[in-house]
């Protein structure tokens, strides 16, 4: 088992989770894409209060073939 980071994107006033299915092996890389998602959302007319991103650690099993 290894630790990966799941990027969660929550939008709207009630913070509904949008499934992005983005998983990263590195926390800094996850944080980079989280910041880019917020910046893109606000540049396209959304407000910063209506979007939230989080990098959540999860355990994953890697299968080598």
Q: What is the pLDDT of residues 20-57, one digit of tens each?
A: 678 999 999 999 999 998 888 777 777 777 788 999 99
Q: What pTM did the predictor assign?
A: 0.78
Q: Give the pLDDT confidence score for residue 20 in this predicted structure.
A: 67
Q: Give the pLDDT confidence score for residue 59 in this predicted structure.
A: 93
Q: Give the pLDDT confidence score for residue 25 in this predicted structure.
A: 92
Q: Give the pLDDT confidence score for residue 21 in this predicted structure.
A: 78
Domain boundaries, the chain: 2-60
Quote the distance between the C-alpha of residue 65 and its chain's center: 28
Of 7 and 65, more confident: 7
Q: Which helix (H) or strand (E) holds 6?
A: strand 2-11
């Amino acid at each position: 088992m290894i630790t990966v980071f799941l990027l969660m994107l929550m939008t709207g006033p009630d913070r509904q989770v949008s499934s992005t299915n983005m998983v990263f092996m590195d926390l800094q890389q996850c944080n980079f894409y989280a910041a880019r998602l917020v910046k893109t959302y606000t540049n396209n007319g959304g407000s910063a209060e209506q979007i939230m991103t989080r990098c959540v650690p999860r355990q994953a099993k890697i299968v080598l073939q």
